Chain A
Amino acid sequence: MKKMHLNIKTKVIIFLALISVAGVASLVLMINRTKHILIQEFKREEMKTVENFIVGTLKPVMLSGHGNLMSSIMASYENQLGIKDLMIIRTNGVEAFLDDETLNKVNKRLNQNRFTRDVKKPIQVLMQDDPSLIQVLTTGKRLIISKGEEGDEQITTMLLPIPLEEPCKACHGDDHKIRGILIASFGLTDAGRNAIREVSSLSIASFSRLLLALVLIFAYLSWAITNRISKMMGEVNNIIGSNRFDQRITAETDDEIGRLSISFNHFISSVEIYREEEAHEKERLETAVLEKTKELREKNDFIENDLKTASRIQHKLMPEKFPELPGVLFHAEYRPSLHIGGDYYDVFEMPNDHLGIFMADASGHGSSAALLVSIVKAIVSTTGKDISSPGYVVQIINSTLANLTPDDSYVTLFYGVINLKTGKMLYSLAGHPSPIVHNRTSGSIEPLKTNGGLVGIFDFEKFDDSEYTLKSGDRLFIYTDGLIEATVAKGREQFGKERVIKALMEKKDESPRNLTEHLHSSFVKFTGGEALSDDITILLVDYDR
């Protein structure tokens, strides 16, 4: 369930509303209780007023014969009761005064306007055989027949016996001891009512003033407290917002809020100290980082120098100069993507007018690839030059690498052995991009056929020799995949074999060096001068014998 967040002002308003509701409820209770007490008080004394005064007789009587009787009955109760209205009712329930004329006649006889037909609060008419009537008749004593609430006032209804002073002639010898029964209802006098009303209004007024005073006091207190807290919050936010932890907030009074300000100032002081420590720590760390950076730079310089040395060594692995052979021209370009690379090429003379042309590309690049090709170079230098079958040499390289190097390391290579007398070339092309033979006279373009897979993966792999006879005018273009797999900046299009072939054809009459320069500039244009992602090696052999 979501927790409600109320600010102090809202809480105070809710609190005041609750106090008001509770106050009003208590007020209502208090007034009711006061009224009740007052009513009881008035009741205890005398029943001061009669709302209705009704006479019932035992039998239908002739009013004319009872005029004086009524008058005397009235007189006998009048001292005790403030009679307001009077009505005569016969016990069979029929109203005695059927019309105004009869009423006036009776009042005239009594010489006063005693009787009325307008009964505001009609009361129960008792029937002849009512047990209450019979009880009063036989005992001659008064009897309360109901006590009930009617509005705010308690009304009591009772039966009052009218004593028989002399035999009733009008009744023609009826044997009864009382003349009749008054049914009377009693309530409070006007004075009583006024007293209650006044007490009630007085209570309401006093309590309302008290409640108002309470509300004002609470409202003032909450306004004073929340305003001071708001002011304090403003100062706190200023300090935090402006980052000025050297500032303090004002503690105006020595009360809870004042003490809260002091506590906050202590807190700010701690923060200031902490920040200073943090600044020192930062400075210390920065110094440490600088020192570490220097150290790293030194180490990096060392590695860099080491790699430069390695690079020089690697360059030494490549031929410093090419064999000088009539009708055969060489040119090579070697561009590692890092200081040292995983490409390697070699051109060497072999016994019996044979020429070895070698190019290898190790998987990956950098120092790990460089180590791989060093092994290849070592094998080629030691054993390769005496063996006329390139496939056999590659097989030796393959089984050596397969047993010495990790499972995912391999090289791709081209190894060709040319018989300079005949132009016949035996070659092994293992997992390597096909060298292109371009005849500058006829314009023919012919890629050499692959005859072997990756070298150094499976030691059981067989590598055979393929044959190609070079003709005069042939230009042999051997390269590594770094050239054709380079892509445009942030794109997928590769430089590709087609651009190489186009350059070969366009620059067929140019020297191998010029062709390579042309190829290099179109390569840079294509890649947008991006750093190389792989090593690139190109070896050109112009065969004109």
Chain B
Amino acid sequence: MKITARAFGEIKVVDLDGNLKTPSDMEEFTNFIDKELEGNQKKFILNFKLVHFINSSGLGRLILALKKITEKKGSLGVVNLNTDVDELFTITRIKEKIPVFTDEAAALEHLK
């Protein structure tokens, strides 16, 4: 998984490229979020445009990230979910915990 980030003021848009599926994907994702939180970054928008699949462990890591961000009184949003991932978010009711946006501008506006 390739992870890059773009800063918009105090919000960071994190572009995820690849699936959140293997143990190394999980580690990369968790390490990235941990490092950002250590650097006092608090507001995140995860861009799932290039993520095609998340398995149950990947979802677990996403929840873990949400918990850590919430503990630091930060906020998290996701954007550009594909149909499969969107359905997974619906079934598991993750949408009730993490706001989902259809475009980046709306997400940025919400997290301001």
* Chain A residues proximal to chain B, CB less than 8 Å: 361-364, 407-410, 412, 431-434, 450, 452-454, 457, 481, 485, 487, 492, 494, 533-534
What are 16 contact pairs spanning A and B, CB under 8 A? A363-B56, A363-B57, A364-B57, A364-B60, A407-B64, A410-B63, A433-B91, A434-B91, A454-B63, A454-B93, A454-B94, A457-B67, A481-B56, A485-B55, A487-B53, A534-B55
- Report which of B53, B64, B97 forms a contact with A408, defined as CB distance below 8 A: B64
Contact residues in A for B96 (Cβ distance below 8 Å): 453
Check A452/B93 contact, CB under 8 A, given A407-B67, A494-B84: yes
Q: Is B24 an interface residue (CB 8 A)?
A: no
Most buried by B among A408, A450, A453, A454: A408
Q: Are B63 and A457 in contact (CB under 8 A)?
A: yes
Q: Are B60 and A432 in contact (CB under 8 A)?
A: no
Most buried by B among A361, A410, A432, A434: A410
CA distance in complex: A432, B87 (Å)? 11
Contact residues in A for B52 (Cβ distance below 8 Å): 492
Contact residues in A for B97 (Cβ distance below 8 Å): 453
Residues of B19-35 at the interface with A, using a CB-CB cut-off of 8 Å, are none
Chain B residue at minimal CB-CB distance from A480: B56
CA distance in complex: A363, B61 (Å)? 10
CA distance in complex: A352, B52 (Å)? 47
- Report which of A363, A450, A533 forms a contact with B59, defined as CB distance below 8 A: A363
Chain A residue at minimal CB-CB distance from B66: A457
Contact residues in B for A450 (Cβ distance below 8 Å): 90-91, 93
- The number of chain B residues touching the other chain, given as a range, is 10 to 19
Contact residues in B for A363 (Cβ distance below 8 Å): 56-57, 59-60
Helix, strand, loop or mixed for chain A's interface? Answer: loop
- Report which of A364, A407, A432 forms a contact with B63, defined as CB distance below 8 A: A407
Q: Are A453 and B94 in contact (CB under 8 A)?
A: yes
Q: Is B40 an interface residue (CB 8 A)?
A: no
- In the complex, what's the smallest C-beta–C-beta distance from B100 to chain A, in angstroms? 14
CA distance in complex: A450, B87 (Å)? 12
- Report which of A361, A492, A494 forms a contact with B56, defined as CB distance below 8 A: A361
Q: Is B92 an interface residue (CB 8 A)?
A: yes
Interface string of B55-79 (1 = CB under 8 A from A): 1110111011001000000000000
CA distance in complex: A453, B63 (Å)? 12
Contact residues in B for A485 (Cβ distance below 8 Å): 53, 55, 84
* Chain B residues proximal to chain A, CB less than 8 Å: 52-53, 55-57, 59-61, 63-64, 67, 84, 90-94, 96-97
- In the complex, what's the smallest C-beta–C-beta distance from B30 to chain A, in angstroms? 8
Most buried by A among B59, B91, B97: B91
Q: Are A492 and B53 in contact (CB under 8 A)?
A: yes
Q: Are B93 and A409 in contact (CB under 8 A)?
A: no
Q: Are A408 and B60 in contact (CB under 8 A)?
A: yes
Most buried by B among A457, A487, A533: A457
CA distance in complex: A454, B61 (Å)? 13
Contact residues in A for B67 (Cβ distance below 8 Å): 407, 457
Check A408/B63 contact, CB under 8 A, given A363-B57, A492-B52: yes
- In the complex, what's the smallest C-beta–C-beta distance from A210 to chain B, in angstroms? 76
CA distance in complex: A454, B60 (Å)? 10
User: Closest 8 interchain pairs by CB?
Assistant: A408-B60, A453-B93, A431-B92, A408-B64, A363-B56, A364-B57, A363-B60, A407-B64
Chain B residue at minimal CB-CB distance from A409: B60
CA distance in complex: A409, B59 (Å)? 9
CA distance in complex: A452, B84 (Å)? 19
Q: Are B92 and A454 in contact (CB under 8 A)?
A: yes
Chain A residue at minimal CB-CB distance from B54: A485
- In the complex, what's the smallest C-beta–C-beta distance from A485 to chain B, in angstroms? 7
CA distance in complex: A494, B57 (Å)? 18
Contact residues in B for A457 (Cβ distance below 8 Å): 63, 67
Contact residues in B for A453 (Cβ distance below 8 Å): 92-94, 96-97
Chain B residue at minimal CB-CB distance from A535: B56
CA distance in complex: A485, B21 (Å)? 12
- In the complex, what's the smallest C-beta–C-beta distance from A479 to chain B, in angstroms? 12
Chain A residue at minimal CB-CB distance from B96: A453
Chain B residue at minimal CB-CB distance from A361: B56
Q: Are B93 and A408 in contact (CB under 8 A)?
A: no
Contact residues in A for B57 (Cβ distance below 8 Å): 363-364, 408
Q: Are B56 and A364 in contact (CB under 8 A)?
A: yes
- In the complex, what's the smallest C-beta–C-beta distance from A367 to chain B, in angstroms? 14
CA distance in complex: A533, B19 (Å)? 14
Contact residues in B for A533 (Cβ distance below 8 Å): 55
Chain A residue at minimal CB-CB distance from B95: A453
CA distance in complex: A457, B61 (Å)? 11
Contact residues in A for B91 (Cβ distance below 8 Å): 412, 431-434, 450
CA distance in complex: A302, B93 (Å)? 41
Contact residues in A for B90 (Cβ distance below 8 Å): 450
Chain B residue at minimal CB-CB distance from A369: B56
Contact residues in A for B60 (Cβ distance below 8 Å): 363-364, 408-410
Q: Are B63 and A412 in contact (CB under 8 A)?
A: no
- Starting from the known contacts A434-B91, A450-B91, 14 additional A-B residue pairs (CB-CB under 8 Å) come to A361-B56, A362-B56, A363-B57, A364-B60, A408-B63, A412-B91, A433-B91, A450-B93, A452-B93, A453-B94, A453-B96, A454-B92, A454-B94, A492-B53
CA distance in complex: A373, B97 (Å)? 24
CA distance in complex: A452, B90 (Å)? 10
CA distance in complex: A434, B93 (Å)? 13
- In the complex, what's the smallest C-beta–C-beta distance from B9 to chain A, in angstroms? 29
CA distance in complex: A453, B52 (Å)? 22
- In the complex, what's the smallest C-beta–C-beta distance from A217 to chain B, in angstroms? 70
CA distance in complex: A412, B59 (Å)? 12
Contact residues in B for A492 (Cβ distance below 8 Å): 52-53
Chain A residue at minimal CB-CB distance from B65: A408
CA distance in complex: A3, B70 (Å)? 62
Q: Are A431 and B93 in contact (CB under 8 A)?
A: yes
CA distance in complex: A316, B6 (Å)? 52
